[in-house]
Structure 1
Amino acid sequence: MSPSAAQGGRVDVCSDAEQRIRNAWDFPAKGGRAAMTSFDVAIPNYNYGRYLHDCVASVASQDVDALRILIIDNASTDDSARIAREIADADPRVELRLHPRNLGPHSSFNEAVDWAASDCFLILCSDDLLSPGALRRAGEVLAQDPTLAFCYGRDVGFLRDQPVPQLATGLERARWHRLSGQDFIERFCRLGVFQIPGPTLVTRTSAHKETGHYREELLHSDDYELWLRLALLGDVAVLDNVQGMIGNHADNRSGTLRARQVLHIRQTEAAAESFFSREGVALAGVRNLRRLARRGFAARAYWAALGAWSRGDPGGWSLMRYALGKAPEMAVLPPFDYLLKRPDARARLAQSLAAVVRRTSPRCD
């Protein structure tokens, strides 16, 4: 169903899952709908059939009229295909791409980019959820200023085997501030990372099309690299609203990767290198940015090492070796400047100091 057809009159189909989402969130069934903005939401899926109903319902219940939803199933071996067909049969806004063989996650992401045709675009993993009013707020913000390439907001986590937490209604207005594309790139370099909750990132489709595909060689950091390329095309709107909910469960891929912090830092470094050696090579001050990123990755590893030691995790040694390999001076002068720029600076400092105290205190055993 095209965006223009959806504007002509939404078919108001409310599945059982959608009704559960509305009930849990006290979501308004009608009213306050965003005008003149169309949305495409792609939902890649692999063996998460048990989550599909709630995920799609969180999108279908958004207070927007012009909406298309695409479920891309990557040859799941569970009952995902059957569930996806049931969802599509009940809602004409839902389209299906059911692959006969597994083409890998990048193929699904890039297929979604090629499919997108509306004003705004979002890729939503099938184990995550949108918050009430998320698309309307994102659309209102992006519609205000054509120089904004994308927006993102806050998220909350929840356990997938627990009931969906109750949030405020979706009627709240967007609260946001601007971050220039240059500032976004510099902050990424300074911190060695820039965490954007995946289910909250909504791009201007034209910007995403110009940016292009996710790069398959970046197995776990393709999203970071794409954000940097998007920031070359415009500014970023940062919403102070809960825009998405991240489902935590045993099969969560990003959670598993973050448990191996050195690998995650190296993957993020690879994203920066890919960006700076291609599209970012013409940036003003690119050499300084690369040096800033090198120190950012080292400082991130340094404090992660102290955090690991505070938990009794021997993985802290590999993190510290990485940090000192990048910035040997940190063996003498800890990178306090890095820590103080993080939003969680106070908690990390307390954690790290506790680790130092434990390691230097005399043992009584």
Structure 2
Amino acid sequence: MPEIDIAIPCYNHGRFLRQCIASVLSQSADMRVLIIDNASTDGSAETARLIAAEDSRVELCLRERNMGPHASFNTGIDWAQSDYFLILCADDLLAAGCLGRALSVLRAETGVALAYGGQVIWEEPNPCPVPATVDGAVHTSIISGPQFAETLSMPHTPIGTGSFVVRTSVQKQVGYYRPELYYTDDLEMLMRLVSLGSAAKMDAVQGIRRRHGGNISADCWGNWKRELQELLAAFESFFANEGATYPWGAKIRRRVRRNIAHRAYWAGVSHHLRGKRQASAELLQFAWSIEPATRFMPPVSYLWHVENAGHLVASRMREIAVATAARLFPVTN
């Protein structure tokens, strides 16, 4: 039996599929790959058949009816039999050497449920970014379930599906992705996984996420209130289900709600200073609905807990300066 199983859901991403598969098969790991096509209409199935004919490690599940993305994720979970498991969407890529790094950590740290690293965003039509080459072992931090859950509620480097490798036994135990969480199902799954073990964070880029306008999450881009609402929904789902059974659940839920309220508050302030009054009002109302105290007292302490707080403040100041200059000195033709 191979050491890792990799499921690749695909819907109308045939133009990306070969590059995605190439990034997987080039890894130095003993693997099986399952392409799960969700009744694509762009020729994805034909591309998948050609790829499978070229490499015996590739298997196919080609649906005749579109059953939605969660059905594909969950088919992969049912299919997985190896010690380790990864889901990689067909429009994303694995960074060079990422599987070797993750598997090395998981073999060494038996109490770890998943190993993950950073991801870089590829904004099409720009050239594909090439992460820095990693030589030898990478620095790894072991993060407890409660700490990890709270970290996910703060601004952080996104953890994409292609950026984390899980123990198949843990994945089977926590079960399926929840279809009611259309945009943040992966984040909620991360919390379920680390509720059964620690997370190992590697200081290396593990995945490359392609942004091309057809992503599932595209509707949320630039809409801060929508993003934070979806984030809150993922946490509330976790704490209403599995998270309710853990002694730390109630405490971490309070902290998570506070963090999201504070993020909404400062986003609202930033929008107001840039002249986006409607968006600002909506964000502030959202913050007040979660933590009423923010109506009367700015949550200044939040700023000291944000990663790279100085960079965040500097970025906001630049945005405000640009917006102010545009209002004071409008460009006229």
Using structure 1 for the length normalisation, give the TM-score: 0.82
Which residue matches 2:26?
Answer: 61
- Per-residue deviation, residues 258-288 of structure 1 (Å, max 9, x unmatched): 3222122112212211111211112224332
Is 1:193–1:268's contact at 8 Å kept on the other side of the alignment? no
Matches within 5 A, 1:47-58: 47-58=12-23
Q: Which moved more, 1:172-181 or 1:272-281?
A: 172-181
Offset at 1:355? 6.7
Provide closer, same or farther for how the CA distance between residues 196 and 278 of structure 1 changes in structure 2, counting only shifts above 3 A. Answer: same
2:231 is the counterpart of 1:268:
yes
Structure-1 separation of matches of 2:86 and 2:237: 23
Is 2:119–2:159's contact at 8 Å kept on the other side of the alignment? no
Is 2:9–2:35's contact at 8 Å kept on the other side of the alignment? yes
Which residue matches 2:178?
Answer: 215
Matches within 5 A, 1:230-241: 230-241=193-204
2:312 is the counterpart of 1:330:
no
Match of 2:55 among 67, 81, 91: 91
Matches within 5 A, 1:148-167: 148-167=112-131
Aligned residue for 1:217, secondary structure, equals coil
Which residue matches 1:343?
Answer: 307
Structure-2 separation of matches of 1:315 and 1:281: 33
Provide closer, same or farther for how the CA distance between residues 159 and 349 of structure 1 changes in structure 2, counting only shifts above 3 A. Answer: closer
Query: What amino acid sits opposite 2:47 in the alignment?
Result: I
Match of 2:88 among 124, 132, 136: 124
Identity within the alignment, %: 41
Offset at 1:358? 8.9
Query: What amino acid sits opposite 2:235 in the alignment?
Result: A
**For structure 1, which runs of at least 5 residues remain unmatched after alignment?**
4-37
> What is the aligned length?
327
Structure-1 separation of matches of 2:87 and 2:265: 33
Offset at 1:71? 0.5
**For structure 2, which runs of at least 5 residues remain unmatched after alignment?**
none
Q: Which moved more, 1:53-62 or 1:279-288?
A: 279-288
Matches within 5 A, 1:75-90: 75-90=39-54
Offset at 1:305? 2.1
Q: Which moved more, 1:90-99 or 1:156-165?
A: 156-165
Provide closer, same or farther for how the CA distance between residues 355 and 79 of structure 1 changes in structure 2, counting only shifts above 3 A. Answer: closer
2:207 is the counterpart of 1:244:
yes
- Per-residue deviation, residues 91-131 of structure 1 (Å, max 9, x unmatched): 00001111101000000000011111111111001111001
Structure-1 separation of matches of 2:171 and 2:195: 11
Structure-1 separation of matches of 2:304 and 2:233: 25
- Per-residue deviation, residues 297-353 of structure 1 (Å, max 9, x unmatched): 111111222343455444232111111222232234322222222213223223445
Using structure 2 for the length normalisation, give the TM-score: 0.90
Structure-2 separation of matches of 1:272 and 1:167: 31
Q: Which moved more, 1:144-153 or 1:269-278?
A: 269-278
Task: Kindly report the root-mean-square deviation, in angstroms, between the aligned alpha carbons of the 2 structures.
Answer: 2.5
Provide closer, same or farther for how the CA distance between residues 213 and 194 of structure 1 changes in structure 2, counting only shifts above 3 A. Answer: farther
Which residue matches 1:28?
Answer: none
Structure-2 separation of matches of 1:276 and 1:192: 20
Structure-1 separation of matches of 2:108 and 2:20: 28
Provide closer, same or farther for how the CA distance between residues 325 and 182 of structure 1 changes in structure 2, counting only shifts above 3 A. Answer: closer
Aligned residue for 1:71, secondary structure, equals strand
